[in-house]
Amino acid sequence: MRKPFFKAVVAGMASVAMIAGMSACGRSANNADSDSDAVKTIDSSKATGDLTIWAMGNEGDLLGDFVKGFKKENPDVKVKVTAIPWSSAHDKLQTAIAAGNGPDLAQMGTTWMTDFSNSFSSVPENFDMSDFSDGSKAAGQVDGKQLGVPWYVDTRVLYYRTDIAKEAGWDKAPKTWDELKQMAADMQKVDGVKYGMYLGPSGTDAFIGTLPFSYTAGASLTDKNQSKWTFDDAGVKKGLEFTTSLYKDGVANVNADVSSGAD
């Protein structure tokens, strides 16, 4: 099988982190779709009052320092940042929403947007989003409403130790799946190298890690109307067969550490 690898790397997979307003947490089922309490527009005046933010992982740990500049420019606002582990964030958000005591703003993985969409306020109508790409904006939309503002975009890319690759006989990057696997296997022959490639074998990103290969093989995860999953797609199968072979042949570590930041 010879599939162009970099097509998948460049175009195959990007994940977007969102900041979503949750000022309507705790709505009843009767008015879950109402934006009556949401801020419709914003202006450039100084911010005042209290603002609570929940953020996950390393972002949550660093966001407190990040907002110091904002608080300096807006001395009458009090910002409280709570860091939450990704592993427990979904349940904590769910519990907080049910109890009506969630944060004002929350970092949100795009795959969770629909899970909590009834508890999000729409982004203010005059909030300037012209600098964001269409794809990143669309990831924050549910039923045509803009419920999240893109924070950052992760793009999957190939990076490797060029010195080790050169020692293994490679002076250029691989262009196909077969070349990628062969280069990784050759690098394993270099003294001190145990595995030729890192690929998350389990956890949240395990399936996402296979998608660049599946997409390159022509996969689609839904039908054209996005109303039905198509995980039995031939491209998905080819992508899974290839990534599985990396583990079976010992090129990638099936027991690799998948904790946050390990890769």
The mean pLDDT of 129-153, rounded to a whole number, is: 89
Predicted TM-score (pTM) above 0.85 = no
**Mean pLDDT confidence for 79-104:** 91
- At residue 109, the pLDDT reads 84
Half-sphere exposure of 158 (CA within 13 A, CB side): 25
Which whole number is the average pLDDT over 32-61?
Answer: 78
* pLDDT mean over 38-67: 86
Q: Pick from 123, 120, 106: which is nearest to 41 by CA?
A: 123
The better pLDDT of the pair 32, 107 is held by 107
Q: What is the mean pLDDT of residues 167-190?
A: 96
Task: Note the Cα 1 to chain centre separation in Å.
Answer: 29
Higher pLDDT among residues 140 and 9, named by residue: 140
The answer to whether 140 and 113 have CB atoms below 8 angstroms apart is yes
The helix or strand, by DSSP H or E, that contains position 206, with its residue range, turns out to be: helix 206-216
**Domain 14-155 CATH (choose: 3.40.228.10, 3.40.190.10, 3.40.50.1400, 3.60.110.10):** 3.40.190.10
CA terminus-to-terminus distance, the chain: 27
In the predicted model, what is the mean pLDDT of the chain?
Answer: 84
What CATH number should be reported for the domain whose range is 5-12+157-248?
3.40.190.10
* Structure confidence at residue 37 (pLDDT): 57
Whole-angstrom distance, CA of residue 200 vs CA of residue 243: 10
Residues linked to residue 105 through DSSP beta bridges, in sequence order: 21, 53
User: Are domains 5-12+157-248 and 14-155 of this chain identical in fold?
Assistant: yes
| Mean pLDDT for the stretch of residues 176-193 | 97
Sequence spans of domains, the chain? 5-12+157-248, 14-155
